[in-house]
Structure formats: structure tokens, C-alpha cells
Amino acid sequence: MKIAIIGLGGSYADYIRARIASEKFDEVWGINCIGDIIHVDKTFMMDPVSRFLDTENAGLQTGVARSFLKNNKKPIFTCELDKRVSHLELYPLEEVTKEIGFAYFNNTVAYALAYAIYKKVEKICLFGLDYSYKNVNIAEMGRACCEFWCAIAISRNIKIEIAHNSGLMDTNVPAHEKLYGYHRLKDPLVQTVQDGQLLITRQSQYEAPEPMDDQPLIFGRHDNVTPLKEVNNV
């Protein structure tokens, strides 16, 4: 099963672009109230829902969270049931930790990743899970924990794909800056992936992907003439 986990960070826009490009997912799992904005099949909201219903502690997210809890008709995994909200399900913490052997959870996304590992999905695509941002002196806690769970997934042959604009696992770091220390060399080492294989090469030998189009196009005015069969074989 191929799933998408969608958080509230800016790279959730990469999910929108993926869907516009006809990428499909067997299930979409949302973090907190993202399900009030896009369709999700499951939600992970590990704070008790009373935090959103009885307090303003969630700040600007309070309103959208209350709307989501009122209107949602899909399962919501959480830590405590509340009669005011339907479709709440207790997160199977004991089963998950017993199966995987770890209990390192300092944010909601970690629970979603652990559950995906527990369910033995084939591929996890992560969007809107950013934690740190370029040129902004602010960061969210939880990045290390999520990267830990990504490593556990990879060790169990689960494929991980991260939104291009996400800071998770340094995905949005330029290729010539990914390998610390080597990035200071006049001809730094560059990390690339070709045909599914990880390669390390000198920047002087690195061939960047060619632009898809030689001429700029205005979408809607020019058709994409790439045969559908060719696209499906990529």
C-alpha cells in the first residue's frame, strides 16, 4: 500500500502538485486538522480533542480544528475518547510498540509513521512535515523523532519519499551542500540518485537533469504532447 501523510507545513503544497500531476495514493493520512482542508482517509490527532474544544491553546488552528472535529466522518486516532466527537479511535499504542520495539514519540507525526510501519505499508510519501525553514529563525520540535521513524521504516524495506520543499532529512538542501565538510571543498562531493541507486560524485562531474522544455510554456495555451504511454513508463 502506498500512503501519503500530510502535515500542516508549507510543503503540503507539494501534495497538491502531486495530485494535479495525477499521482495516486491508496490512502491519505492527515495530521491534526488538515482534513478540514483536503480529503483524508485517516487522521492522527494525538492531543486530546478537549485541547481544541475547551481551550484556545492551539492558537489560530483552534477554529479550523473545531470545524474538522464537528464535520469529519473518517477515523481519528487519538489518546482519549470524547463523547462530543464521533469517529474517534484510541491509538493502538501497546500493539504498535510491541510489534516495532520502540516507544519514541514526541509529536503526532511520529505516531503516524509508527502506525504505517506497524501496518507494513510499501511506501510512505511525506508532505507538509517541515520542522525547519530556510532564512527563518524558527523551528518546530519533532524533526529528529520523525527522522528516527523514517530510518526504522527504511530498515524494514519501506520506501520513503519526502516532499521536495521539505526540510525533513535535508531534502530541500542543495545537492552540493548535503555532505557536511565536503561542501567546503572547491569541488564538493554531490549526492545524487540515478536509476534508484545512491551515487556520490564530484560537483564538476555532476550532470544536472536537463530542463523538461527548451521553450517556456503557458499552461492552458500549449498542450503537453508527451504520449501518455511514455509518461506511464517513466
One DSSP character per residue, 208-224 reads PPPPS-SS---BTTB--
State the pLDDT at residue 225. Answer: 52
pLDDT tens for residues 105-146? Answer: 999 999 999 999 999 999 999 999 987 666 655 556 789 999
Q: What is the mean pLDDT of the chain?
A: 87
Tell me the mean pLDDT in the region 165-187. 88
Tell me the mean pLDDT in the region 218-230. 51
State the pLDDT at residue 40. Answer: 97
State the pLDDT at residue 113. Answer: 98
Per DSSP, which regions of 98-221 are E strands? Answer: 123-127, 159-162, 189-194, 197-202
Sign of CA dihedral 7, 12, 16, 17: negative
Q: pLDDT grade, residue 93 (50/70/90)?
A: very high
Q: Is the pLDDT of residue 87 over 70?
A: yes
Quick one: DSSP state of residue 192?
A: E
230 or 51, which is more confident? 51
pLDDT tens for residues 193-210? Answer: 777 788 888 988 877 655
Lowest mean pLDDT among 84-88, 92-96, 175-179: 175-179
**pTM of this prediction?**
0.84
- % pLDDT > 90, the chain: 63
